[in-house]
């Protein structure tokens, strides 16, 4: 009975989505629409990379890492430094950014460990870490006389391809491929490998997992490291598009949060869907209403989600 109702509800979502897409396509014209659609895929999937880390950390460590956006910012700066400023290889820069992100995330895990699963304390700590990392970033930039302003990063992938009359930048395609690969990889890791299953076990019941021989501290560190790598990858992909500035971690943190809440706290599949939805909201709001309204539209979306379906797409409501 309930399964049937669930099925009706899900298919009604799909129908609504298709109708909305058709209406938008009719309103914007097919070319603009397909551009906006591509943009929403790109934004949505890269956002998912950041949100996935946040969601995994929430599910497994039971804390909310407000400083997750700072990992993204630091990784972005590493890419800028090695690739745009020093002119060393783009790929090497991304690998270095990943390494820095892992170290940073593991350090944060160490600092947050004494707090246990105290959400409020972890959020305060996250704020402290935001200040600490943002300040640290500025100190480093200051030492190297690099300036605090926004800076551009040249595109690595150049050129356009023509698909049925719509011009698509190779960069976008590369971003799509890399993020899909990383998201699939993360899900495959969680589903198929032994360590991944152990990770999910910790998310379900930490004590029981420990009784069955899972090293919980190790899983926690690993989760943070995975979150860091995903954020670094997102930074590596997005930095050529948006450039870098020290406070770049805050807006993406907010959007990633909305995705995590919409997806259902701690759920992996939900976050992917939610990331795509948020990405399309961002992209279409920017195209139709202008980029200055994106924040307002996102906030209203968040309100709507929390009032209508606070447990998100796939998650359960956490109560305090």
Q: Report the interface residues with another protein, using CB under 8 A.
A: 64, 111, 114-116, 118-121, 123-125, 127-136, 138-139, 142, 250, 254, 257-258, 261, 265, 292-293, 295-296, 298-299, 302-303, 306-307, 310, 318-320
Name which of 189 and 254 has its Cβ closer to another protein. Answer: 254
Name which of 119 and 288 has its Cβ closer to another protein. Answer: 119
Long-range pairs of 24-33 with CB within 8 A, sequence gap ≥ 24: 24/284, 27/288, 28/287, 28/288, 31/165, 31/166, 32/287
What's the min distance (Å) between Cβ of 155 and another protein? Answer: 28
Residue with tokens 């935001």: 130
Name which of 58 and 83 has its Cβ closer to another protein. Answer: 58
Name which of 213 and 290 has its Cβ closer to another protein. Answer: 290
What's the min distance (Å) between Cβ of 139 and another protein? Answer: 6
- Counting Cα atoms < 13 Å in the Cβ hemisphere of 244 gives 33
- Counting Cα atoms < 13 Å in the Cβ hemisphere of 94 gives 15
> CA 277 to CA 37: how far, in whole Å?
11
What's the min distance (Å) between Cβ of 72 and another protein? Answer: 16
223 neighbors 43 (Cβ within 8 angstroms): no
> CA 180 to CA 275: how far, in whole Å?
12
What's the min distance (Å) between Cβ of 290 and another protein? Answer: 9
What's the min distance (Å) between Cβ of 142 and another protein? Answer: 7
Residue with tokens 């950014």: 97
73 Cβ contact list (under 8 Å, min separation 6): 133, 134, 137, 235, 244, 246, 247, 248, 249
Name which of 161 and 304 has its Cβ closer to another protein. Answer: 304
What's the min distance (Å) between Cβ of 228 and another protein? Answer: 18
Q: How far is CA 103 from CA 34, 122, 179, 229, 267, in A?
A: 39, 19, 22, 10, 25
Among residues 49, 116, 77, 13, the alpha carbon closest in space to that of 244 is found at 77
Name which of 92 and 111 has its Cβ closer to another protein. Answer: 111
């Amino acid at each position: 009975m309930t399964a049937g109702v669930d099925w009706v509800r899900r298919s009604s979502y799909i129908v609504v989505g298709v109708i909305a897409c058709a209406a938008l396509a009719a309103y914007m014209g097919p070319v603009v629409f397909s551009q906006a659609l591509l943009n929403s895929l790109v934004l949505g999937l890269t956002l998912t990379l950041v949100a996935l880390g946040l969601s995994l950390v929430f599910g497994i460590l039971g804390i909310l890492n407000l400083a997750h956006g700072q990992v993204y910012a630091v990784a972005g700066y590493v890419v800028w430094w090695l690739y745009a400023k020093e002119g060393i290889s783009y790929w090497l820069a991304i690998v270095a950014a990943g390494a820095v992100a892992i170290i940073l995330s593991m350090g944060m895990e160490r600092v947050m460990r004494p707090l246990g699963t105290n959400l409020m304390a972890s959020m305060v700590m996250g704020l402290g870490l935001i200040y600490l990392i943002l300040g640290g970033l500025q100190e480093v930039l200051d030492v190297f006389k690099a300036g605090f302003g926004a800076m551009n990063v040249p595109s690595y992938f150049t050129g356009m391809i023509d698909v049925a009359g719509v011009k698509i930048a190779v960069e976008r395609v590369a971003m799509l491929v890399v993020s899909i690969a990383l998201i699939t990889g993360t899900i495959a890791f969680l589903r198929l490998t032994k360590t991944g299953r152990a990770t999910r076990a910790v998310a379900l019941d930490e004590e029981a997992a420990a009784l069955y021989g899972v090293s919980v501290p190790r899983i926690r560190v690993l989760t943070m490291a995975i979150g860091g790598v995903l954020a670094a990858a997102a930074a590596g992909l997005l930095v050529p598009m948006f450039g870098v500035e020290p406070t770049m971690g805050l807006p993406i943190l907010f959007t990633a949060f909305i995705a995590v809440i919409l997806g259902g706290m701690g759920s992996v599949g939900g976050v992917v869907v939610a990331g795509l939805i948020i990405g399309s909201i961002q992209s279409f709001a920017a195209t139709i209403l202008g980029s200055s309204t994106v924040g307002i539209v996102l906030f209203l979306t968040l309100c709507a989600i929390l009032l209508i379906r606070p447990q998100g797409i796939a998650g359960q409501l956490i109560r305090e």
